[in-house]
Amino acid sequence: MKKTAFSVLFTASLGLLSANASVDCATLSMSVKNSVSAEQSKVLEIVSAEVATSPDCACEIVKAAIEGSNAKTQTVAAIVEAAATAAPEQMRLVSQCAVAVAPDALAAVQSVIAKLDPNLGESGTSAKGAKNAAVGEVSEMPNPLDFPGQGPVGPTPGGPGGLPLIPQLPPVVIAPPAVTEG
């Protein structure tokens, strides 16, 4: 009984410690905003240090840095680059948060992200997969005119525009009754 009570108390205390160990992103963002507005020349150092220590709050840190420094387009791009370098796994989130605060910096942010990770697009390939492929090798694409309706191009059988799932039957004709006068 004593061991059970001890293990319950020990587990509860570990839960409280882990809850207190997490960083409050709202408080951190206010701190970053105040620091950046006080020292605008050190905005990149502040962003890099804070994102490196709290990568889960990267979005809030970037937003606060942009708002605190009243950043222009090039400064927004530099902030995104500093944050993405400090926490590469948060790169996409950082860029989206920066564009949400400063939509006029979209092109600059996209160019920074393309420079840092050119294979970040939605195609499903990663930089690791790109390293394994031979340089200059192009995969062979099928010609869509060879076999229309088959392969990756054209309608697939059983789908919209392909073979119907339910076969069509001829229409049913009901003849009207023969009426005789009599």
Q: What is the pTM of this model?
A: 0.55
Q: What is the DSSP code string of 52-65?
A: HH-GGGHHHHHHHH
Q: What is the pLDDT of residues 7-52, one digit of tens each?
A: 444 444 444 444 444 568 889 889 999 988 888 888 999 999 999 9
Band the pLDDT of 61: cuts 50, 70, 90: very high
pLDDT in the model for residue 57: 92
Band the pLDDT of 156: cuts 50, 70, 90: low
Q: How far apart are CA 47 and CA 41, in angstroms?
A: 12
Percent of the chain whose predicted confidence (pLDDT) is above 70: 59
Question: What spatial distance separates the first Cα and last Cα of the chain, rounded to whole Å?
Answer: 103
Lowest pLDDT segment from 43-57, 85-99, 128-142: 128-142
